[in-house]
Amino acid sequence: MLAFIWAEDEVGHIGYEGKLPWHLPADLAYFKAQTLGHPMVMGKNTFNSFPGFLPKRLHVVLTHDKQLQQAALSEDRLMVFDDLSQLKAWLAKHDELVFIIGGASLFAQFKDQVDQLFVTKIHSQFKGDTKMPELDYAAFELVKKESGKLDDKNKYPYTFYVYQKRK
């Protein structure tokens, strides 16, 4: 099963200069809770935005970067594909939940194959240079909605949504 997980602001921004445009610890904790134990598929820029390997998750990266491909030979937490068709073939062999976590081009490539959407809507606007591709929400049913808690560390109002593809 294929799932997208991302956070976006009110106008659909998901990134700015290769990073998240906001700091929202509750969303990072939500991301961790959902993806723990599951493979995460991403582009090179998303991978490079991490401080290092995220624990207990396979990092699957689509890139032509030869250094990253070489690193994958000796790192069991990393798998690298340099071809979209190879990645799709690998995904077709997995019945388990696999998360696509970004960037925008990967979301666009798989928007017709995704089964679940995990989205954090941040009810503010931020400076951004990357937007989430348009998705056909009519093909999905909202199965969970949870308002986030504001506190000293989480200063922006936000809501977690989970959608399931309609049968």
Can you list the residues of the chain whose pLDDT is less than 70? none
CATH for 6: 3.40.430.10
**Phi, psi angle pair for 77, to nearest 5°:** -90, 0
Determine the pLDDT at residue 94.
87
Residue span of the structural domain in which 145 resides: 2-165
How large a percentage of the chain has pLDDT more than 90? 97
Burial class from Cβ neighbours inside 10 Å (0-12, 13-18, 19+) for residue 122 reads buried
